Structure 1
Amino acid sequence: MDFSIKSADKKNSLNTIKTDCIVIGIYENGKPTDEAIELDANGIVTQALDSGDISGKAGSVLLVGSPAGLSAKRLLLLGLGKKPIGEKDFRQAIDTAIKTLKPLNIGDVLIALPFNTLSNRDLSWSIYCILSEFHSQLYRSDALKNQKEPSTKIQKVSFYIPSEDMTIAREALRHAKAITDGMTLAQDLGNLPANICTPTYLAKQAKTLAQTYKFGTEILDRKQIESLKMGCFLSVAKGSDEPPKFIVLKHMKGKSKEAPVILVGKGITFDSGGISLKPSASMDEMKFDMCGAASVLGTFKAIGELDLKQNIIGIIPACENLPSGHANKPGDIVTSMSGQTVEILNTDAEGRLILCDALTYAEKFNPAVVIDIATLTGACIVALGHINSGLFTRLDEQHDKLAGDLIAAAKSSNDPVWRMPIQDAYQDQLKSNFADMANIGGQPAGCVTAACFLERFTRKFVWAHLDIAGTAWKSGPSKGATGRPVPLLCTYLIQRENH
């Protein structure tokens, strides 16, 4: 779908623009927006309001066919709620507008809304919100179906923007398009079955991105991983016939000595639980256990599109977790790349085992910030449900700043997080009689002790952990990957560059 900006000036009067449909806003109690007033030269908006068929309540709509005096074929009056427009009302209105338009025989749409009258939101957010909603409603996961799902005929969407705001609008559109493209890649990868999306497949996707956007790339195989003494990662991988891959992507467009931001994504392409076998119900959803890796690849696609002037490195440890005669057994003790030993009390707590070696590997780059992204714990779903991703950092000035920056990015991108505690008192739950630590800390505060486990491997750099177990995919009739937290990660990097 093509998105563009159209200047609101004398050459582009709403009355003379040729399009299949113009979308204009109406405030609550039937008060027209400035755009509606501009378009009302022939009284068409006044007539529609006088009919009483639209009140202006958020999400109310009235479609007018063949509007007299307009070059547009249709006019969609959209209720926006009270002025200034609230974020919830705006999102509800956009949701309704797209649902109304997408089944119609409409090829192009012009959106002429009062983007600068939102409460506590700006033009850039409005444009991102609209692209995000189009993406959400129009994304399809039918690549492997012989009979595809019906698709909308909408091919072009334009934003009617005051001429003085054109520069801001174009930049906002560029950012929003890159983010949604990154989400699409993350969703496509997450939705593929595990017999297709293997560690080798993820490595090929990384190579394709590297070729397209001129990233540096390294794909380490089993022997190279063994030479790095990543005993925890290899212990998980050895239960499967699929070879593990350790994927590194490098976008080095910052200053030569600038410390990089590192994104580490969990890449378990299928998680059976290993010897600690998961229940069979919903086990098919464990193909989504690589959504952390998918989010890193999706974010790198956006980074490439935006050509950010930063040094950014992506690290993805990828393997399967399966039961076999070679698989980890409860009670096994393995040695991490850091030299610390781990007693494996539960083989289904494998994500932290592959991540701990990846986090140790990140030390070699002397990073400014490391953020790991993982579908790590069911306990995070119990704590936060499916709305907020869990955000974990240490409690000090540097980490408080990182947490604040991520929370701000989350709010800007409609990709919410909630900061969770991570304190030394929880570390006691990871004590082992036989190794430096156990890989689980029992049921209480399960997502916290998982973060505490990872924290032991991050003490040489500033670090945050995102537990996306509750937000990376949906179950039930709408089953599928969400593409989160690509919007959060991209927005964080964009805001970091701007400041």
Structure 2
Amino acid sequence: MTLQFSLESRNAEIVETPCVVVGVFDERMLSTAAQRIDAAAGGAITRLLESNDLSGKPGTTQPLFGLVGVKAARVLVVGLGDAKKFDAARYAKANVDTTRALKGLPIDSAVSYLAELDVPGKDLAWKLRTAALASDAQAYKYTTTFKPREKSSRPELHALAFAAPAGSDASVLEQATAIAKGVRFARELGNLPPNICTPAYLAGEAHQLAKDHPGVICEVLEEEAMYKLGMGALLGVAQGSANKPRLIVLEWKGGGADEKPYALVGKGVTFDTGGISIKPSAGMEEMKFDMCGAAGVLGAFLTAVELRLKLNLVCVVPAVENMPGSNAQRPSDVVTTMSGQTVEVLNTDAEGRLILCDALTYVQKYNPQTIIDVATLTGACVVALGKHASGLMTQDDSLADELLAAGQATLDRAWRLPLWDDYQSQLETGYADIANIGGKYAGAITAGCFLARFTEGFRWAHLDIAGSAWDEGRKGSATGRPVPLLVQYLLDRAQ
């Protein structure tokens, strides 16, 4: 369950709550709420700062207990760093630090006064939504495959209020809750092990989403239907696995009957061994995250439906498992895509583009006004951009601007890479219309160039989230990106 959010208009020193949260900058500069707490408590915060028992350095948090003159049982002081450098990213980080500290306290609720802080260029609505999403992301914990434990009597954080002037519009928190729900949905799918989250499981989750939300239509195509449609590229990837593929289609008709839909397409490789071009064993366990593109578009779709956005939306997920079985696809195989174009498979580990190209052709039956595909597509994108930005590729400048703006607004940022025709020659082969890899250089871009061949005539963009979709390491978790970016893009269109 997501955190429960609300607004609080009373001053920090008079709120009766298990904990109030205030901020302190470097140079012992107190935020407005911290000043009020300090005055009510007879200068307690100032004395602690002067004795260096309290710090304003970013990332620091310190709970103070039983301050005389303050009605809250605890005061959590959060370090904000240099006031002159305090910006949107530092504000979001302060809220993450806050929730991390609150989770360690035996409390079920708290009131945060960080939304009172001045964030250059951002209004109260942005601060409230960003605080809520940052807090819920930090509060999320994966527990599905752990042994059930007896419920602890120790209180756990489940509600968070944010300071705002009386009469402030609380609808932004309803929006934040819907986005947080979509992010959690995407994270949970990404974190599930591949023996649970198979193509059939993803299809079941889509059916359940439709069942839970009136107005959503779900259709799932199985192997025979895909064969009749000529999806040779998608089926070629799936043919080595005992887990059969699914093509998942969700529709939401929140707009006019004659309005063209927006289309989201997400790569759903529920586990990627690389196939015959098998990956190194070190780190292969992270390939359960290779369906995070699918998880991301499903999460964004869920949020759009929760918000009942006034637009038409179609979501298509090609779901497969890429395994090196006896019937697996071989390097040098040639497959015929749904579009009729043939592809020489030079590397079976470049499988994401093969399932996406058929899904991108399929979604065109809905005559969408815009198509956005999302995929953990290339290690080359991680090399280029690291873990901070998703790679964006499109030949439409206005669409690029819209997506980049959505990413900037949500701090779920993307960076545009070129998609020039100069790179298309790298995909040439003597045995088919196109090869599925373009050589050692510009791997993320040539993957985008491959997909571009299947979207001609449509307004289309590709998001490579190979770096941003999960955190590495044994305790690494799916991030739920790019749900915030996609939802902001759809919100902007609906408005």
> 2:99: which partner in 1?
98
Structure 1 gaps of 5+ residues are none
Greater mean alpha carbon deviation, residues 255-264 or residues 152-161: 152-161
TM (norm. structure 1) is 0.92
| Paired position in structure 2 for 1:263 | 264
Superposed displacement of residue 67, structure 1:
2.0
Over the matched positions of the two proteins, sequence identity in percent amounts to 45
Within 5 Å, which residues of 2 pair with 1:416-455? 416-455=413-452
1:189 is displaced (CA, Å) by 0.9
**Structure 1's 148 and 191: CA in aligned 2 closer, same or farther, altered over 3 A?**
farther
Shift of 1:192: 1.3
Q: Which amino acid aligns with 1:447?
A: A
Q: Does the 8 Å CA contact 2:115/2:163 hold for their aligned counterparts?
A: no
Aligned to 2:142: 141
Cα deviation digits, residues 291-338 of structure 1 (max 9, x gap): 111111111221121111110110011111112232211111111111
Number of the residue aligned with 2:162: 159
Write the distance in 1 (CA, Å) between the matches of 2:339 and 2:299: 29
- Corresponding residue for 1:211? 211
2:14 match: secondary structure: coil
Cα distance, 1:194–1:497 mapped onto 2, change above 3 Å: same
Q: Secondary structure at the match of 1:481?
A: coil
8 A contact 2:100–2:139 mirrored in 1: no
Does 2:482 correspond to 1:485? yes
Q: Which residue of 2 aligns with 1:376?
A: 377
CA offsets, 1:98-123, max 9 Å, x none? 33322111121011235361112222
SS in 2 for 1:163: coil
Residue 33 of structure 1: aligned partner: 31
- Name the structure 2 match of 1:73: 73
Provide Cα deviations, 1:367-416, integer angstroms capped at 9, x if missing partner: 1110001111111111111111110001xxxx111111111111111212
- The Cα shift of 1:423 comes to 0.8
Contact 1:115 1:122 in 2 (8 A): no
Instruction: Point out where structure 2 has 5 or more consecutive residues left out of the alignment.
Output: none
Secondary structure of the corresponding residue to residue 473 of structure 1: coil
Matched, 1:476 2:479: no
Pair 1:203–1:54, CA change in 2 (3 A): same
Tell me the distance in 2 between the aligned counterparts of 1:5 and 1:81.
27
- The CA RMSD over aligned residues, in Å, is 2.1
Partner residue, 1:111: 112
Whether the aligned pair in 1 keeps the contact of 2:200 and 2:244 (CA below 8 Å) is: yes
CA contact (8 A) 2:3 2:136 kept: no
Provide closer, same or farther for how the CA distance between residues 130 and 310 of structure 1 changes in structure 2, counting only shifts above 3 A.
Answer: same
* Partner SS for 1:29: coil
Q: 1:286 to 1:76 in 2, by over 3 A?
A: closer
Name the CA distance, whole Å, in 2 between partners of 1:128 and 1:192.
27
Structure 2 residue 14 is the aligned partner of structure 1 residue 16: yes
Which residue does 1:185 correspond to in 2? Answer: 185
**Matched position secondary structure for 1:447:** helix
Q: 2:282 — aligned with what? A: 281
SS of alignment partner, residue 200 of structure 2? helix
Query: What is the aligned counterpart of 2:463 among 461, 466, 485?
Result: 466
TM-score (norm 2): 0.93
The 8 Å contact of residues 441 and 449 in structure 1, kept in 2 or not, is answered as yes
Question: Given the superposition, is the C-alpha separation of residues 110 and 274 from structure 1 closer, same or farther in structure 2, using an over 3 Å criterion?
Answer: same
